[in-house]
Amino acid sequence: MHEIKTIEVNGVTLAYREYGSGDKYLLSTQNFFFKDSHMALLGQEPYDYHCFLVYMRGYGESSHIFDQERRDYAKIWGEDLMAFAEAMGIKSFYYTGISHGNWAPWYIAFHKPELIRAYVCCDGITQYHEQRDLPAPLAKMRDQAEQFVGNEEQLRKTAWIETWPTENPQRLARRKANFEEHLDILMHRKKEEFALPMLGDMTGCNAKSQEELLERLHEINFPVMIWEGGLDPLATPEAALEVAKAIPGAQYLMYQHLGHGGADEMPELTARDCDRFFKDVEGRIL
């Protein structure tokens, strides 16, 4: 496992792991990364990206947040990542993220799009939602945070679980490894990490309706691929296709047999798809 480094930006500490070297930069931000995530793989042979995996403010060894004020975390994490890139002297970068790891790049897409060379959005899309609470399992952890700290029995019920049908031994082995790794991550979390509201503007542009969001998506001028599982209940195939159709030149790649978190279940496949897309969009013509 590559060592965790830290940097001071935006008045906070951001922790990160670095893979690879050179100026072919790829950034990603999450509240946790599996050790064999597709983002990490892209910074290793046979790929040649210089990857920075940045831990979101509020989690891990990045600065924590000790209150439950409702903030726009899409903006916070997006501004943090832009500040990170500036501090590192990175003028533009590729981006790929999974689920909540897509909040920051959508925010950047609408506020400083020149930073993004190309973007693969995995297991999550920009969507308009009226103000709502977290999904029930996350809301329970937030509201009863003290009951989850170091509680293996509770955390085994909420650690990484994929239930999409498969008898493939490789997928089953990956699921087991992901579960154990995620459980270990959760066992080391502090109360404030469980209590973080993790809510925000999921459009990234303060759109007041889905129609307004789709109009704004027409403004995006860098290459985008929507990478999704056909069994994903959170970013459904229908919603993902609607987003892809709104972005000029976008591609939509859907794997029928995967669900939400498919990119973490199939990281080798995802890394290959990202690399192919990033190479194919060089010199694209719209």
39-84: pLDDT as tens digits: 999 999 999 999 999 999 999 999 999 988 888 999 999 999 999 9
* One-letter amino acid for residue 38 of the chain: H
Domain count, the chain: 1
Note the pLDDT of residue 136: 67
Is pLDDT of 137 > 70? no
Task: Name the residue range of residue 95's domain.
Answer: 5-129+203-280
31 in a domain, yes or no? yes
> What DSSP designation does 43 have?
T
73 in a domain, yes or no? yes
Note the pLDDT of residue 245: 97
pLDDT tens column, 84-123: 999 999 999 999 999 999 999 999 999 999 999 999 999 9
pLDDT tens column, 212-261: 999 999 999 999 999 999 999 989 999 999 999 999 999 999 999 999 99
183 in a domain, yes or no? no
Sign of CA dihedral 79, 13, 260, 276: positive
Q: How confident is the model at residue 16 (pLDDT cuts 50, 70, 90)?
A: very high
Is pLDDT of 132 > 90? no
Note the pLDDT of residue 131: 64
Q: Which residue stretches of 97-231 are H helix?
A: 103-111, 136-143, 152-155, 169-187, 191-195, 210-217
Kindly report the CATH number assigned to the domain that includes residue 245.
Answer: 3.40.50.1820
119 neighbors 96 (Cβ within 8 angstroms): yes
